[in-house]
Structure 1
Amino acid sequence: MSPDSGVAAHGVLIEPTTLRIQRVLPGTVERVWAYLTDGELRRKWLAAGDMVLQAGAPFELVWRNDELSAQPSQRPQGFSDEHRMKSRIVAVDPPRHLVFAWGEQGTGEVAFDLEQQGDKVLLTIVHRRVPDRDALLKVSAGWHTHLDTLEAVLSGEYAGPFWPRWLQLRDEYDARHPR
């Protein structure tokens, strides 16, 4: 990401339990939208899983973060090779706006907004109602690392090992987020 893009490199808390993170990505809104909503494309940077783009529709995200890099790395303690989360679509306005519940209980919510800016796209993610500080650190480092991966995929570049970057970012967010 270009330092002159006006977009902060790290996510910021806009409320005590709400993280906003942005990226300026190469391509068109339609291409980035496909990487958000098509399960096969989404698995290259975040998590697999089919979505029916209709408010109220259930879906499941399947994370396999070890597969996001050709270079193996040590997975942190407490993480398995696969994580599944059932969820549902809250709102959808293709190809610019998607909101889904974070988990089956819907205790959190994630909104994605896309805005074309010349030959690039501003992607804004707002993750609301993160339940506690530990989850906030994991979510912050997670979105940041996954977005780094998406940016690399869209640019045709190598993203680097997932887990070492995630651990580094968790520590950075620990220093950035108030206690």
Structure 2
Amino acid sequence: MSPVSHATSEPRGPGRWTIRFEMHLPYAYEALWPALTTAEGLLGWLAAADVLERRLGGAVTLRWPNTGTTVSGQVTAWDTERVAEYTVSEHGRIRFHLEAVGTDSTVVRFLNERGGSEEERLDCLAGWHDHFERLESFMAGHPTDWAAWTDARWAELRASYASFSRT
């Protein structure tokens, strides 16, 4: 069973919300950290990091190879091997918090705070879920082949999140 389960989402005022994921991954935090904080790691599951200054206040520009969407911003929190946070245009605050569990597994707590419509919230829930499944695959040695990417899995997840929202 995948360690990626459905996210929670909380309203934070009109047109604002927070998405949270918590995953228990069977990898040491030293192995996960580069996947979340280096250009090579991010490309394997999330986006191309065209600019990534790995320090508090550093610049960051992420480009999704499957859509061409590009966002820029800053590194707004940085605690080596524990917390990486990027605040970028369009996607808001993106925070990864790692907590070691023993020597060979890690809990990743993810938070995304941003604004947008209900449709955008559902898109983001599905998008992040899809990307975290890709992170799991990347950590197992199978980076995303962006040239072969389709939105089929995203569409399944989007429908699932939409059904939860109607209940």
Q: TM-score range by the shorter chain?
A: 0.7 to 0.9
Distance 1:162 1:36, change over 3 A: farther
Mapped contact 1:51–1:59 kept (Cα < 8 A): yes
Q: What residue is the counterpart of 1:46 in the other structure? A: 46
How far apart are 1:24 and its partner, in Å?
1.8
Counterparts of 2:166 and 2:75, CA distance in 1:
31
- Cα displacement (A) at 1:178: 5.8
Q: Where does the alignment leave 5 or more consecutive residues of structure 1 unmatched?
A: 66-79
Paired residue secondary structure (1:45):
coil
Identity of aligned residues (%): 28
1:1-179 → structure 2 map (5 Å cutoff): 1=1, 9-16=5-12, 17-49=17-49, 50-65=51-66, 80=67, 82-103=68-89, 108-118=92-102, 119-156=104-141, 162-177=150-165
Higher strand proportion: 2
In 1, the alpha carbon distance for the partners of 2:18 and 2:130 equals 18
Measure how far apart 1:132 and its partner are.
Answer: 2.0
8 A contact 2:4–2:129 mirrored in 1: no
Alpha-carbon deviations, 1:107-139, whole Å to 9, x = none? 721111001113211111111133221221111
Aligned length: 158
Secondary structure at the counterpart of residue 177 of structure 1? helix
- Tell me how large the CA RMSD over aligned residues is: 2.4
Amino acid at match of 2:98: L
